[in-house]
Amino acid sequence: MATDLLIRNVTLVSPAGQRVVNIFIADGAFSAILDPGPLPFVPAAETINGTGLVALPGLIDGHVHFREPGLTHEETWLSGTRAAVFGGVTTVLDMPNTVPPTDSVERARAKLALADASAYCDFGIFGLVGESADRIGEVCSSGLVVGLKAFMGPTTGDLPSPDDDLLFRALEQARTSGLRVAFHAEDRATIEAARSGESRTDAIAHLETRPADAEVRAIERIGALLKATMARGHICHVSSSAGLDAVREWQRREVDLTCEVTPHHALLGRDVYADFGGVAKVNPPIRGEPDAATLLDGLGHDRVGLLVSDHAPHLAADKMRASIWDVPSGFAGTETLLPLMLTAVDDGRLSLERLIHATSEAPAKTWGLWPRKGQVAVGADADLTLVDLERVGEIHAANLHGMNNISPFEGRATIGAVVTTIVRGRVAVRDGQLVAEPGWGQPVRTNSRSSSTA
Ligand SMILES: [Zn+2]
């Protein structure tokens, strides 16, 4: 078979370890992974010298908000996936709280068409656990979504929190279709009680009205519903030690429950509120130490499966409003996820193998994309990220490639940078330059049977 792209003498890192190889790509898939040696007589159409670089499975960012349709002043599929490929991300999974929300087959189809027209990387979408159980059932069986998402507490878009009866029916529909349900786990009643009578308007007040207790209560309710329905669940962006313990407890009770953490919950301290004010506002809130260290440690020791960005950009002016209650929650993150976490690897706080597992194999298995996505193996999609582990950088919104890049990581030094990103065999970013055309990205094909071993 003719080789379209050859990456020579690159150090391939997989969850199992590291070795120097030549990687052959043909027709968008890995065609051979060979020890360095004499090359075949037939030359490759394109060759990249990988000497001194490390090759990772292309990252799957399992939690992004690309804001299209409806909020295209904040992000679009074009700008969001452009940021993604600069960050070494080759597949994104988009959340359903767009305008309108992704709560019907028609809306799922419309969102996929928007993404298909302009995405630089591959993509999947979540369907919303909205207000109609019948529509949830149709979305589940449509084959258009990688999973469902339910918001248990108030957040961006202020979508309704489903009651137990609706959740029960949604979980049964998801189980029947082989889909997993992702939860934003913050208990609405706990937050509303903490909020009542709150007169402060500073950034820390937001943290104090969203205690870890709200996370634990939501996880308790989710666990009980999963146990009753035997459905599969996933806790998004776990933010506290107590929340992680609650997830572990349900796993011990043989509930199929996976979870994820973000760089901001695992790396930032409480001083972020003094330094960045409302820019740092996110749900659930950044809690600082000791929770952050526990989350990073959980990622390193298999207590947390997935690492995601929760990329959720807003206009800088909106993030800078005087009262914290007027500031929207979330910030950009898909482009900075890998450099930030490579820096934690450089610090010796996380192994490269665990980082890769959390951004490739784990999300691929959790959301039914394995084995086509999430590994460098013959026959799998040729999604590959080449990084220079030594290259230093500094995060500045002005240098990033989304539409609204402000984040509480502004000014932070990094060690480890993305050099080249390859999406299904085609180079999207080469030596820090965008070389792909928009629209190459395709919807992921899910095998509709997410694995419990992630
Ligand atoms: Zn989110």
- Three-state DSSP at 80 gives helix
Distance of CA 418 from the midpoint of ligand 1 (Å): 24
Active site residues: 310
Distance of CA 271 from the midpoint of ligand 1 (Å): 23
Rounded to the nearest integer, the mean pLDDT of the chain is 94
- pLDDT at residue 451 in the model: 47
Q: What percent of the chain has pLDDT over 90?
A: 88
* The pLDDT of residue 46 is above 60: yes
Query: Buried (b) or exposed (e) across 183-212, using 16+ Cβ within 10 A?
Result: bbbbbbebbeebeeeeeeeebebbbebbbb
| Residue 161: pLDDT band with limits 50, 70, 90 | confident
- pLDDT at residue 445 in the model: 83
Q: Which of 98, 99, 102, 97 is nearest to 139 (CA)?
A: 102
Say if CB 278 and CB 321 are below 8 A apart: yes
User: What does the pLDDT average to over 301-314?
Assistant: 96
- If one counts every other C-beta atom within 10 angstroms of the C-beta of residue 2, the result is 10
Helix 291-300 vs helix 241-252: angle between axes, to the nearest 10 degrees?
40
Distance of CA 40 from the midpoint of ligand 1 (Å): 47
- Ion ligand 1: protein residues whose beta carbon lies under 5 Å: 310
Beta strands in 351-423 (DSSP E): 384-394, 413-423
Distance CA 245, CA 186 (A): 15
User: What does the pLDDT average to over 322-351?
Assistant: 97
Which stretch of 245-249, 300-304, 419-423 has the lowest confidence by average pLDDT? Answer: 300-304
- pLDDT at residue 452 in the model: 45
Whether the pTM exceeds 0.85: the reply is yes
Distance CA 7, CA 30 (A): 11
Distance CA 147, CA 234 (A): 10
Q: Which amino acid does the sequence have at 389?
A: L
* The pLDDT of residue 409 is above 90: yes
The helix (run of H) or strand (run of E) holding residue 46 is strand 46-49
- pLDDT at residue 453 in the model: 42
* The pLDDT of residue 329 is above 90: yes
Distance CA 58, CA 421 (A): 7
Q: What percent of the chain has pLDDT over 70?
A: 96
Quick one: residue 194, left, alpha or beta (phi over 0 = left, psi -120 to 50 = alpha)?
alpha
Position with higher pLDDT, 220 vs 447: 220
